[in-house]
Chains A and B, each alone.
Chain A
Amino acid sequence: MNKDDNISEEQLNAFVDGELESEERSCLFSEAERSPELNQRLCQQRNLKELVQHAYEDVPEPKRPLSGRRTRTSIIGMALAASLLLVVGVTAGLFMHGYLDRAPLPGGYAAANNPQAVAAMENYILHVISGEPEQMKLALQKAEELLATAKPGKPRKVEVVANEQGLDLLRSDVTPFTAEISALARENVIFYACSKAIMRLEEKGIEVQLVPEAIAGFTALDRVVIRMKDGWQYIKI
């Protein structure tokens, strides 16, 4: 029997994956120098690994809604996008709440040493993913409860973001809660419909009509990340 027949595939894998101890690795090197067959087996194993790496060096990105678009260099891209969206989102949010004349605008997202950041922890973003009426009702009750339990003189901000099946909450032709949504919107609760969830339904040929209180244009994830960066509390329902 040839000596390299004793070398298992597991050992070859461990070799190309850098999992062998130094001594065992040296032995295999020496053996490969003596045996062209073993050398070829090692080369094939490494080649296979490199082929897999090469095949996924550049993967196609999904089609994304405008606000959720990201570049391949997502670290910088996400940071810039998040900052931009934050400024736009917070400005829009404050404007819609009529807070511009009552509170100073945060410059970018809240800093840890900024008292506003501490205050932001009193704010909540509720994430609704379920299309079950009980869960939707629970989300609306939670929003109402959060408003009711705010400290006196410190109005609490609450946003509801819906995606996946939870989008039904904000679809005017589906939701059983139009009156409740309307009432909460009057209390300055903001409702966001995930733009990606909308796009998904539209791709299936479903026309999405939202209740007038709902705002589209953000993906659920972007909205949640923005608000959490701002120090808000996150509740998934």
Chain B
Amino acid sequence: MAYKKLLRISQRRAFRQLVTNNRQRLYRMAYAWTNDPHLADDLVQQTLLKALSNQKQLRDFAAAQGWLFRILANCLTDYRRAKREVLSADNLEVVDKVTPEHQFKDAQLVRKVRRAVQKLSINHRQVITLVDLEEFSYASVAQILEIPVGTVMSRLCRGRRALREHLLEMKPRESLRPVTNIKRT
């Protein structure tokens, strides 16, 4: 009996470590989705609390990362539903004024890309950022967002096309300077 209790404690500790280790990654994703540091932080907080309280639902530790991002996506959906708020690029300028990226020479490019990302619909934004930032496979993204893989591919396609158009509208030469060639590795 005591052994079972000790095992449970040990498992809980491993789980909490996993949750803690993923906090910054979840935050970056939440920020990419919302463009609001406070909201992103709140969403991550909700995500981690939900994960901690629902840890028994996680059967496979190998799938834990996707599970955490799925909770994050659900938290954002709940937030948007509750607030009926359109997360637009309108307040991007205000938020960016206080970011440390201004100290760097490429701050302008960073700002432009973020603004273009925020112009995307949330569906396109989520797929693009999950694939590009976290490098999740299409199958994993499908599980996280609870949509078919085909939908992931079509959203990615339309989203990237829209993203490219937004960037071209802003400043084509500076934003989309092509690299010299594709890496062969």
Contact = CB atoms under 8 A, between A and B. Distances in A.
A118 B5 CA distance: 7
Contact of A47 (B114, B129, B177): B177
A9 B161 contact: yes
Nearest to A236: B53
Interface string A33-63: 0000001101111111111111110111111
Interface centre among A56, A70, A75 (most CB of B within 10 A): A56
Interface of A: 9-10, 13-14, 17-19, 29, 32, 39-40, 42-56, 58-64, 70, 72-75, 78-79, 82, 110, 112-113, 117-118, 121, 127, 200, 219-221, 224-225, 228-229, 231, 234, 236
A135 B149 CA distance: 41
27 contacts: A10-B156, A14-B153, A18-B135, A19-B137, A19-B138, A29-B182, A29-B184, A39-B182, A44-B164, A48-B167, A52-B113, A52-B117, A52-B133, A55-B110, A55-B117, A56-B28, A58-B100, A59-B40, A61-B37, A62-B41, A73-B24, A75-B21, A79-B20, A220-B45, A221-B49, A224-B49, A228-B52
A223 to B, nearest CB: 11
Given A47-B179, A121-B9, A229-B13, A52 B128 contact: yes
B12 interface: yes
Contacts of A32: 182
B179 A62 contact: no
B176 interface: yes
A55 B104 CA distance: 12
Contact of B23 (A29, A44, A55, A78): A78
Given A9-B157, A44-B176, A49-B132, A54 B9 contact: no
A201 to B, nearest CB: 13
B128 A10 contact: no
A75 B20 contact: yes
Nearest to B153: A10
Given A74-B24, A117-B9, 15 more contacts: A10-B156, A13-B160, A14-B153, A40-B178, A43-B182, A55-B117, A56-B31, A58-B100, A60-B31, A75-B20, A75-B24, A78-B23, A82-B20, A219-B45, A225-B16
Interface in B147-185: 153-154, 156-157, 160-161, 163-164, 167, 175-182, 184
Contacts of B12: 228, 231
A127 B129 CA distance: 32
Interface residues of B, number: 62
B45 A112 contact: no
A45 B101 contact: no
A39 B179 CA distance: 11
B2 interface: yes
A186 to B, nearest CB: 29
A64 B23 contact: no
B49 A236 contact: yes
A219 B128 CA distance: 32
Nearest to A57: B110
B100 A72 contact: no
Contacts of A62: 37-38, 40-41
Contact of A55 (B5, B53, B114, B160): B114
Contacts of A82: 20
A119 to B, nearest CB: 10
B99 A60 contact: yes
B7 to A, nearest CB: 8
Contacts of B41: 61-62, 64
